[in-house]
Structures are given as C-alpha cells and as structure tokens.
Amino acid sequence: MTETNAQVAQRIQEKYDFYTVSLTFTLLALAVQSATLKDSAPKDMLELGGWTLLFLSGICGLSRLRRTPKVFRLHHGSAQTKSDISRFEKARLEGNAVSNHRRRVRTISMNYLPD
C-alpha cells in the first residue's frame, strides 16, 4: 500500500522533530563537557545562561513530541463525530431510521466530552 503525500509529510516531520530534540541535547552535553568555568564572572554567567536556554529548548521539544499524538487523536475523534452527525442529519432529512442514528450520535458525542 502506498503512502499519501500527507502521510509522507507527517513521517518526515516526525523525523525532523526527533532530530531537533536530539541535536539540542547533544549541543547541551557538548557545551557542558567543554566548559572552563572560573575564567571571568560575566563569561561564566553567559555560559550558564546558554546552558539553561538549551535545556529549556530540549524540554519544550520533548513536550511537543509528547503532545503530538494527543492532538491527532482529538482531530480524528472530532472528524469522526462530525461524520456521524452529518449522516444523522441526512437520515433525518430522508426520514430513515432516525432513532438508531440518534442513539449512535449521542453515544459517540458523549465519548468525546471532557470528564
């Protein structure tokens, strides 16, 4: 089965995200390992500030990687609910089996409500 352009783009984006996060932590490790502190106070403060920013950048990247699957699940659930609602509306307009569709849409909609 061939991949669609959207699937290929998503796969490449995931690789790029992993590369960016790993590069950030690699640069942080290299900076910490090659440091020579106690030369001068301003230089040392700037270097520590740089380490802190690299660390925060890596944590933000990890947070983004962690949230990405949740966003896709929410969008999938929303699209599924919209599809079911449109089928319900179509059946209602045609007068076909409204009660079954109503029950199914209500059940699906309740699954996506926050607790």
Q: What would the pLDDT profile of 23-77 be if each residue is shown by its tens digit?
A: 999 999 998 888 888 878 888 899 899 999 999 999 999 998 888 888 777 777 7
In this prediction, residue 107 carries a pLDDT of: 53
Query: Which has more pLDDT, 63 or 6?
Result: 63
- Is the separation of the CB atoms in 60 and 79 below 8 Å? no
pTM across the whole model? 0.58
Residue 15 reports pLDDT greater than 80 = yes
In this prediction, residue 11 carries a pLDDT of: 87
- Is the separation of the CB atoms in 81 and 53 below 8 Å? no
Cβ neighbors of 65 (< 8 A, separation 6 or more) are: 17, 18, 21
In tens, the pLDDT along 69-98 reads 887 777 777 777 777 777 778 777 777 654
